[in-house]
Amino acid sequence: MRNRPKTLSKVVTGLFVTCVLYVIYVIYAFSFGVLIFHFHQYSESNYLEQNRVERFWGEEISQDRVVLVDDRYEAGIARIHMIENAQHTLDISYYTIHPGQSSDIFFSYIISAADRGVQVRLLLDGIFHNLKGNRKGILYSLAYHPGIELKFYEPFDMFRPWTWNNRLHDKLIIADKELAMIGGRNIGDKYFAPDGYEGASNDRDVIIINTGTENVEDSGIYDMKNYFEYVWNHDFSKFPLSQLTKAQEEKSQKTLSNFRRYIGSGGGLDYQDIDWIERSLPTNKITFIHNPIDRLNKEPWVWYDITRLMENSEKSIYIQSPYILPTNNMVKHIDVNEITAEDIVILTNSLAATPNKLAYSGYLRYRESIANSGVNLFEYQGPTESLHTKTYVFDSRISMIGSFNLDPRSTYLSTESMVVIDSKQFADSIESKIEDHLLYDSLKVKHDGEYIDNPLVVEEDVSFFKATITKSLSIFMRFFEFLL
């Protein structure tokens, strides 16, 4: 009994030391994972001097043609078709792959392509890849297959919190240097769901077809391929496993067998042969742009180009983004006096439609000022669906599609990639899609923040809980909007 006080004292001391170390770590993580981004200044380069805005226009028809893919189900079919028809190489980059039928189909066709000799490289974000827990069998199967290489971009490192916000946000598929897809969709059921799916996410992809057989470097796909190579070979991209244990190999073989049987059973989607050329539209030029690959705050290369295209527009600007957070740091890159376009339209999610309360809480601070700035601000009503589309159209000729949201995270923190398309026909098709949303699914925001009545659109109700939480977050998140 005499030793009990000493034992109790050791336990208390151990708990105290543990608590102190935990508090120290929390302070360390908060300082170098959050606060540092408020103070860190990115390094400026000669990007603006070397990349003039005039480079986006072409004077004659190019070898690249494009196909607009808006429909959710069709977007899933298009990915299957691209993967199934690849002959030599598949380079794929995604931010996140959600569990569900869509990801099972996706992985099944990737494995099928590798089985027939296609060399597959899959690059996923190192934190949000979702190949954890009971999905580790997928990780093992991809690492085990001789025809597949898998890397994670900036895997989680608890001792380097400044890496946590350096996220891979690209969504790319490149097949044989002849066909490529870029857009805003991740892989998950809500991105490819049929009508009536609760929580569906509407997005937009563009498929690029290189019809040139000799001047490969003249295609926008050439620059996309080079960008993938650069990120793939970068020090930030790591193989998740050096080798598998015997137990992991057994699990990988079982998972591979399941995926192969999944393909044999039909895989949940009807394969369709698609003539992309027949469905495509001509372009004058396609230019691929992206953010630099850096940690901490990045120089805003993509935002540079968007703002210069805004300033260059004479007639109209269409912007469609799930989140609109024009922070002071972002706005300082815009010369407001140079923006002379008469018709400026912004379409984003309403509070009823948005699934992202944090992002919307940041938008609340700017909502009325945007509506009072001469911009036609529309909000998609949902409420069972939301917009995830990232699209910009300038003067009904220059279009941008890709992964870039109009927020500080896309501007300064994440990898982001877009294609700039010079094609009046393509721009017209996008504007038509946006106009449909404006007329049938959205309401215009008045100067006081209320909506202008539209007999075709019902203002959707917002639950008291969602409204209260979002407004409360708005007060708090104003101090951390640089991370939204």
Contact between 360 and 470 (Cβ < 8 Å): yes
Token code pair at residue 474: 């708005």
**DSSP letter string over 63-116?**
SEEEEEE--HHHHHHHHHHHHHH-SSEEEEEES-B-SSHHHHHHHHHHHHHHHT
First vs last C-alpha separation in the chain: 57
pLDDT in the model for residue 217: 82
Domain topology for 62-276: Endonuclease; Chain A (3.30.870)
Averaged over successive runs of 10 residues, the pLDDT of the chain (484 residues) comes to: 66 85 93 94 94 95 96 93 94 96 94 96 97 92 94 96 96 94 96 91 96 80 96 97 88 88 64 83 97 96 97 96 94 90 96 93 93 94 93 98 97 98 97 96 94 94 91 90 92
pLDDT in the model for residue 325: 95
pLDDT in the model for residue 269: 59
pLDDT in the model for residue 3: 60
The span from the CA of 90 to the CA of 156, in Å, is 26
User: Under CATH, which architecture does the 286-483 domain have?
Assistant: 2-Layer Sandwich (3.30)
Residue 361 to residues 324, 413, 446, 449, Cα–Cα distance (Å)? 10, 19, 19, 14
pLDDT in the model for residue 382: 87
pLDDT in the model for residue 165: 95
Indicate if the alpha-carbon torsion angle 77, 78, 79, 82 is positive or negative: positive
Beta strand pairing call for 376-380 and 343-349: parallel
Answer left, alpha or beta for residue 255, where phi above 0 means left and psi between -120 and 50 means alpha: alpha
pLDDT in the model for residue 352: 94
Token code pair at residue 452: 């202008």
**pTM, to two decimals:** 0.94
What are the residues facing 468 on neighbouring strands?
A: none
